[in-house]
Amino acid sequence: MARFILTRLWQTLITLLLLTILIFILARLTGDPTPLVMPSEATEADRNFFRQQYGLDRPVYEQYVIFLRNVLHGDFGISFRYREPAFGLVLAAIGPTLQLAGVSMLVAMLLGLPLGILAALRPGSWFAAAVRSYASLGQAMPTFWTGLMLIAAFAIMLPVLPSSGYGTPANFVLPAVTLGFYASASITMLTWANMTEALRSDFVQMERVLGIPRRLVVLKHALRNASLPIVTYLGLQFGLLLGGAVVTERVFAWPGVGQMLVDAILNRDYPVVQAAVMLTAVLFMAINLVVDLLYAVLDPRVSTP
Amino acid sequence: MSATTTGRLRQARRMVRLPAWGVAGRPPILAAAVCLLIVIAAIGGGAITPYVPDEADFTAILAPPAWSEGGSWQHLLGTDQLGRDMLSRLIAGARISLLTAVAAVVAGGTVGVALGLAAGYIGGIVEAVIMRVVDAFLALPFILMALAFVAALGTGVGNIVLVMVLTNWARYARLVRSEVVSIKQRDFVALAQVAGLRPAAIALRHILPNVMTSILVLAVLDVGRAIILESSLSFLGLGIQPPEVSWGLALAEGRTYMSVAWWLTVWPGLAIVMTVISFNALGDWLKAGFDPRGRL
């Protein structure tokens, strides 16, 4: 077990390090940031001073070491646009993103879990067919279109909900339904498949033969056995929601990291881009790591080779 | 096998064994027809559009679809804010969507397969290095990874194609490597080695053909994902740029007119959803037929 945890930590660390190299290379691809930062009336001497200060005149590997050291200190440089530390800006935006992802996750579970369980209990029925259509639609509808259609329906045709903004519970409804619907598709299918497997298993069949009430068998035994992979998947899905939030935030003008990242790319505000990408990556990998370790604790088969 | 996150995800997917999916039974004829239609539209492009897709016509601004009030059969699906014919723009958009998707799948797939094959067959330090790089490329949700590349490379058709390749290759490498590792243990590979075949020949002629069906299934399932990625980037203003036409871009442009002209946002969205559903259905059918044990 200890060995498994160590290996997993080590892998995560290496991946993170490689990711910093990748981000560093990408940042260098964009060229010399000096003209973007310095006012146009700056003299060549000023520009050179700036380059020297940021180490842009040094060899590439030295630049990388400087970059890495700064990143470890949470220093991604000053936003070209807001003239504030980029990391602070991104850190302030992570709250709304996590809130949106959390509420969306709740919506996805409320939709996906019951649909999956009920479909598994009624194989071959019209209900199961409807659930399958629901899931394939959920996987095929891009969130920006779902979002726009919801805005058309509930903010324009039937003006009952706000189409954008942040702060009140009403603001959560449309973005969270948009993102939650998308995530619910795969949760539905996974729950369905695992429930089907659990219902088919010998011990559940046995209990039914023994005449234990169906409701009890389903809720107490089948569901419990189906739940481990589902719970794991929910954890991973939360990480994926951070990615899905980028587009949804844009549609609903939600003040999160995704919105900030897209704005920063459009304005060539590279320090903010790097900080946003790095912070999301760390968060995403941390969630995956925790999920993996939890799974190993709950299911000892995983960590024994 | 270590339970990495990617392994976990694969395991989770493996358990999506669909009850009564009609396993490889009826081929999805409707889905195949839609896919064919999209391919025809993409190949035909400007040659089969009723109008030039980016030609403005200020006498027909925001004309509704033919069957609604005020519409005319001149423009079956209506026109946009510049009087451009929506049907023509949808057909032109099919070309961009499919071009980027095919690039992601074919070019990204080729790079990924080559690296996965090398990692799985050579093993050792080569495998360790390639697989850690793969992990780094998969360390972010794919839309975020794509945005990181767009930030560095810029927008436009050429760059978006490159971004699609960069975001996509790693998943092929992971799949191929894991298959190769198990195939390598089989007797026919040992026999080929004893017979004195060069490693490259063994890898290409004896191992690769055994992985091909898995790659094919992944590729078809990937088309939908790639189309959603391209249209998302274009919707965000970070993908295809005007005067090129893309479904995602058309949606972003039509958004402003949503309260007066529903057809500007409904048609491109429907085009995306129908295409993605059809390719997914086709992929699922192939998967049920070729991959009954659900290794993908």
Q: What pLDDT, on the 0 to 100 scale, is given for residue B19?
A: 35
Q: Is B152 on the interface with A (CB under 8 A)?
A: yes
Q: What pLDDT, on the 0 to 100 scale, is given for residue A127?
A: 93
CATH number at residue B247: 1.10.3720.10
Q: Is residue A64 part of a domain?
A: no
Q: Is residue B173 part of a domain?
A: yes
Which residues on B lie below 8 Å from A231 (Cβ)? none
| Eight-state DSSP code of residue A58 | S
pLDDT digits (tens, 9 = 90+) for A59-79: 888 888 888 888 888 888 888
**What range defines the domain where residue B157 resides?**
36-47+73-290
Q: What percent of chain A stands above pLDDT 90?
A: 32
Who has greater pLDDT, A288 or B3? A288
Q: Is residue B275 part of a domain?
A: yes
Nearest-neighbour CA in chain B from A141: distance (Å): 5
CA angle A184, A188, A193 (to 5 degrees): 155
Q: Is residue B68 part of a domain?
A: no
Q: What pLDDT, on the 0 to 100 scale, is given for residue A247?
A: 92
**Separation CA A106–CA B92 (nearest Å):** 39
> B284 pLDDT exceeds 80?
yes
Contact A11 B4 (CB under 8 A): yes
**Separation CA B106–CA B222 (nearest Å):** 10
Q: Which residues contact A201 (CB under 8 A, 6 or more apart)?
A: A222, A225
The number of angstroms, rounded, from the C-alpha of B99 to the middle of its chain's C-alpha atoms is 9
Who has greater pLDDT, A170 or A51? A170
The number of angstroms, rounded, from the C-alpha of B7 to the middle of its chain's C-alpha atoms is 22
Contact B18 A193 (CB under 8 A): yes
Q: Is residue A13 part of a domain?
A: no
Q: What pLDDT, on the 0 to 100 scale, is given for residue B23?
A: 42
Range picked from A232-241, B53-62, B165-174, B214-223 for highest mean pLDDT: B165-174
Q: Tell me which residue in B3, B232, B259 faces A295 most closely, judged by beta carbons.
A: B3
Give B 223-282 residues with CB within 8 A of chain A: 224, 228, 231-232, 235-238, 248, 251, 255, 258-259, 262, 265-266, 269, 272-273, 276-277, 280-281
**Separation CA B255–CA B234 (nearest Å):** 13
Q: What pLDDT, on the 0 to 100 scale, is given for residue B151?
A: 87
Question: Counting one residue from A and one from B, how many pairs have CB atoms under 8 Å apart?
Answer: 189
pLDDT digits (tens, 9 = 90+) for B237-271: 999 888 888 999 999 998 888 888 888 899 999 99
Copy the structure tokens of residue A92.
């302030």
Contact B48, B63 (CB under 8 A): no
3-state secondary structure string across chain B: CCCCHHHHHHHHHHCCCCCCCCCCCCCCHHHHHHHHHHHHHHHHHHHCCCCCCCCCCCCCCCCCCCCCCCCCCCCCCCECCCCCEHHHHHHHHHHHHHHHHHHHHHHHHHHHHHHHHHHHHHCHHHHHHHHHHHHHHCCCCHHHHHHHHHHHHCCCHHHHHHHHHHHHHHHHHHHHHHHHHHHCCCHHHHHHHHCCCCHHHHHHHHHHHHHHHHHHHHHHHHHHHHHHHHHHHHHCCCCCCCCCCCHHHHHHHHHHHCCCCCHHHHHHHHHHHHHHHHHHHHHHHHHHHHCCCCCC
Give SS3 for A78.
strand
The domain tally of chain A equals 1
Which residues on A lie below 8 Å from B144 (Cβ)? 242-243, 246, 261, 277, 280-281
Task: Give the residue carrying structure tokens 């045709």.
Answer: A157
Q: Tell me which residue in B11, B136, B141 faces A15 most closely, judged by beta carbons.
A: B136
**What range defines the domain where residue A145 resides?**
86-303
> B11 pLDDT exceeds 70?
no
Q: What pLDDT, on the 0 to 100 scale, is given for residue A240?
A: 81
Nearest-neighbour CA in chain A from B16: distance (Å): 5
Contact B236 A247 (CB under 8 A): yes
Average pLDDT over residues A41-50: 79
Q: Is residue B95 part of a domain?
A: yes
| Eight-state DSSP code of residue A155 | I
Q: What pLDDT, on the 0 to 100 scale, is given for residue A111?
A: 95
Q: Tell me which residue in A14, A247, A273 faces B235 most closely, judged by beta carbons.
A: A247
Contact B230, B143 (CB under 8 A): no
> B12 pLDDT exceeds 50?
no
Contact B252, B238 (CB under 8 A): no
Who has greater pLDDT, A111 or A215? A111
Position B17 confidence tier, pLDDT thresholds 50, 70, 90: very low
Q: Tell me which residue in A18, A27, A193 faces B17 most closely, judged by beta carbons.
A: A193
Contact B227, B101 (CB under 8 A): yes
Q: What pLDDT, on the 0 to 100 scale, is given for residue A119?
A: 92
Q: Is residue A60 part of a domain?
A: no
Position B115 confidence tier, pLDDT thresholds 50, 70, 90: very high
The domain tally of chain B equals 1
Contact B95, B45 (CB under 8 A): yes
**Separation CA B17–CA B290 (nearest Å):** 14
Burial of A3 (0-12, 13-18, 19+ CB in 10 A): exposed
Contact A176, A104 (CB under 8 A): yes
> B172 pLDDT exceeds 70?
yes
pLDDT digits (tens, 9 = 90+) for A98-124: 999 999 999 999 999 999 999 988 888
Whether the model pTM is above 0.90: no
Any bridge partners for residue B85, and if so which?
B79
Contact A217, A266 (CB under 8 A): no
B7-26 in b/e form (b: 16+ CB < 10 A) is ebbbbbbebbbbbeeeeeee
Q: What pLDDT, on the 0 to 100 scale, is given for residue A93?
A: 92
CATH number at residue A126: 1.10.3720.10
Q: Is residue A111 part of a domain?
A: yes
Q: What pLDDT, on the 0 to 100 scale, is given for residue B271?
A: 93
Q: Is residue A22 part of a domain?
A: no
Position B2 confidence tier, pLDDT thresholds 50, 70, 90: very low
Q: Tell me which residue in B141, B151, B232 faces A284 most closely, judged by beta carbons.
A: B141
pLDDT digits (tens, 9 = 90+) for B64-79: 887 877 777 777 788 8
The lowest-confidence range among A113-122, A279-288, B44-53 is B44-53
Task: State the sign of the Cα–Cα–Cα–Cα dihedral A294, A298, A304, B2.
Answer: negative
Who has greater pLDDT, B196 or B248? B248
